[in-house]
Chain A
Amino acid sequence: MPGVMVFLCRCCGRIPPTVDLSALGEKIDREEGVVAVETRDTICLPEDRAAMLRSFEAGGADRILVAACSPYGKADDVVAKLSAACGGDRSRVRLVDIREGCAWIHRRDPVGATAKAGDLIGMNLGFLRHGKCSADAVVAVRPECMVVGAGSAGMAAALSIARAGHRVHLVERGAGMGGMLKLLSHVYPTDAGAEEKLKPSLQAISAQPLITLHAKTRVAAATGYAGDFKIRLASGTEETNLHVGAVILATGAGVWLPRGLYRYGELKGVLTLMELERRRKEGEETPRRSVFIQCVGARCPERPYCATFCCPSSIKNAALIKKEDPGAEVTILHRDIMTPGAILERYYRSALEAGVRFIRFAADAPPVVSGEGKVDSVAVFDTISGVKREIAADQVILSTPLVANADNTKLAELFHIGIDRYGFFREDYPLHPLETRQAGVFICGSARWPVASGDAAAQGEGAAMKALAILGRERLSARSLSRLPEGKLGHARIEDAFCSGCGNCVAVCPYEACALQKVGGIFVSRVNKMRCRACGSCTSVCPNGTIQMPEHNARAVGAMIRRAFSLREAR
């Protein structure tokens, strides 16, 4: 039976003298299954690596153990290169950290450090005996994409994908495209008309033969995984089946109505920002004296978030009112003005110069709107000057935040993705802002967090690029879906013969990769390899060890544990 070739690295003398490598080598040489032990100076240098490969090939061993620095050092790269000599099977090469994890932290205890190095190598020899490699799964990619929601984000995503030459199904629950832009009169920071801004996208989409619009349609059912989703759309009683490789959710967000706040719905002239947009779009005359109140229903205990668009949006309307009628009195009552970035900050300054009045109030002393039948004035305590002010007003505009669509919950269930506590889609942690926990399902626009139309479009294009990374391939391998750098594990595997169908793995899997299926009359668990991300949660709850990560199986870990304190021999 072939055995293990052990290489010890001196690390140019930084591992000895704390760890006595010659004594260690002799001890390791006596271990079961070790073919030979070789001590080298610097395994990270190409010359040494070439020499290691030569002695590995001459030695007749089939596995390699390298005792050197930590996996975060250079040794990991060495292991990757050595595994090529073992037919690319990483389970046959094992790296043991005897530098950071041993020699460097036990410098005052050379005896203990040498014993520990011996144990660590012994543990990993045991691991090598049982370590396996899981086979990769490969699926044929369906080169079509579904985009849900035809607002700024969805349209940008659909256009990007269609321009790259892939068919796009644009699903919209409303009658037509445009999303929230259809409700606005102007967009900040350019002050361009919303319709003008929308027109080029609408024209491009209708001229694009690869985009099919499914209007007044909802997603009814979805199954599958990255590269191969099967979707059922419902439009009234009519049903359509789609077969797509990637899904982009751009469902946007809903407006929140401030019922019961600032006498909204009770006094004439108290309206929301969206109502003001509609009135201005329809060309209704704006009264002379306007007061905007910011953070209505936002940055409060129920919705502690800032919706980001309302400050620039109020500033836009205030400045435009002032521009149309320089005699107008426009006041913005705010808690903090949120205008991040160079452009929006300039936008805020220009509104100040145009004569818009900004008054800051405290969250615990909100303004009071008064009037009878019709709004009359707003009383506010100005925290900057410490004066109570009474502002005469013909209309009061309440800036309310966007809230998550009620549909999100259903879509999240259908696609097995997460939603946060406010109902917005949850991005994949960390640093994958447009991806979700399901590979092949992407999010963009206000469905993931309230954003302005320009940012939504940018996110839509980003999500499209992510989707194209899947759609552009003919075949997709499960391992390539790992979002973690140097992800080493494959995916969980089930031995049918022992699975009792208890469903523990189904309950614990964070990616809903495990599911119970009836095979021959009994339930057994099945792992969807395209969804499995190899966290190993299932392996630790399986009552009979049926489900295992081949790269980190219970036998291998058990061998490590038994050998950890040299009390018992590894088996």
Chain B
Amino acid sequence: MNAPERNDKKPSPRVLVFACRWCALVGADAAGRKKTELPASFRVIPVECASMVEPDSVLRALASGADGVAVMGCHLGGCRFNDANHVAVKRMEALGDLLDTVGIGRRRLLLSFGTAHEGHEFAEILGNFLQELGPLPELTPWRKTLLNLPAFR
């Protein structure tokens, strides 16, 4: 994967990953065990199921300094909780529409369902996402506005 360029002027984009512990977290772990090189600018929050991720949490993450958010769960039809991730996909797609509407853009929200189960898949998906986020402008003005909302203070 793209190794971090330490002389790069622009730091690597910050990404918060919500990883379902039945799929993407296994992938993240496998990437670790294989010692795949990845930029140190992402953080993983393990969740029991992707359906547990509130749309709020995604906005909150963007407001708290993340340049992008990744929500990763099991493949559709392979959820450990019956059909829970089907609902999660719809919810996250709707959130994507919302992000487009307010001008943040759905490009900052990565959805992966069943595509990050292997270490190399996780590394590839994350690497591509970081590359895509790279040229995007900082979220600062918007973030400041949001951070000043009472709900986030």
Contact = CB atoms under 8 A, between A and B. Distances in A.
Contacts of A113: 40
B64 A567 contact: yes
Contacts of A539: 52, 54
B51 A540 contact: yes
Interface in A536-560: 536-537, 539-541, 549, 552, 554, 557-558, 560
A568 B148 CA distance: 13
Contacts of A119: 43
Nearest to A117: B40
Contact of A101 (B16, B44, B79, B82): B44
B149 interface: no
B78 A537 contact: no
Contacts of A123: 43, 45
Contact of A99 (B32, B52, B53): B32
Contacts, number: 154
A562 B33 contact: no
A429 B83 CA distance: 10
Nearest to A488: B48
A120 B46 CA distance: 12
Contacts of B57: 554, 557-558, 561
A540 B91 contact: yes
A535 B138 CA distance: 34
B65 A564 contact: yes
Given A533-B81, A535-B52, A540-B54, A100 B32 contact: yes
Interface in B14-40: 14, 16, 21-22, 25-26, 28-29, 31-33, 35-40
B26 to A, nearest CB: 7
B45 A565 contact: no
B131 interface: no
B61 interface: yes
A102 B48 CA distance: 21
A17 to B, nearest CB: 15
Nearest to A566: B65
A66 B21 CA distance: 19
Contact of A536 (B39, B47, B65, B77): B47
A490 B49 CA distance: 14
Nearest to A95: B46
A552 B16 contact: no
Contacts of A71: 21, 25, 29, 46
Contacts of A484: 22, 80
B35 A104 contact: yes
B119 to A, nearest CB: 10
Instruction: Describe A's contact surface by its main secondary structure.
Output: loop
Contacts of A567: 64-65
| Size bracket, chain B contacts | 35 or more
A353 to B, nearest CB: 44
Nearest to B147: A568
A198 B49 CA distance: 47
Contact of B53 (A109, A488, A540): A540
B47 A112 contact: no
Contacts of A552: 47-48, 52
A349 to B, nearest CB: 38
B110 interface: no
A108 B6 CA distance: 9
B45 A115 contact: no
B128 interface: no
Contact of B65 (A101, A102, A565): A565
A71 B46 CA distance: 10
B21 A535 contact: no
B136 interface: no
Contact of B64 (A102, A511, A541, A561): A561
A567 B25 CA distance: 25
Interface in B68-109: 77-84, 87-88, 91
A565 B84 contact: no
Interface in A71-124: 71-72, 97, 99-102, 104-109, 112-113, 115-116, 119-120, 123
A561 B16 contact: yes
A430 interface: yes
13 contacts: A70-B29, A97-B44, A101-B32, A109-B6, A123-B45, A418-B82, A429-B80, A535-B49, A535-B52, A540-B88, A565-B66, A567-B64, A568-B64
Interface of A: 70-72, 97, 99-102, 104-109, 112-113, 115-116, 119-120, 123, 418, 428-430, 437, 484, 488-489, 508, 510-511, 533-537, 539-541, 549, 552, 554, 557-558, 560-562, 564-565, 567-568
Which 5 residue pairs across A and B have the least CB separation, nearest first? Answer: A100-B32, A112-B40, A536-B52, A535-B81, A510-B82
Interface of B: 3-4, 6, 14, 16, 21-22, 25-26, 28-29, 31-33, 35-41, 43-49, 51-57, 60-61, 64-66, 77-84, 87-88, 91
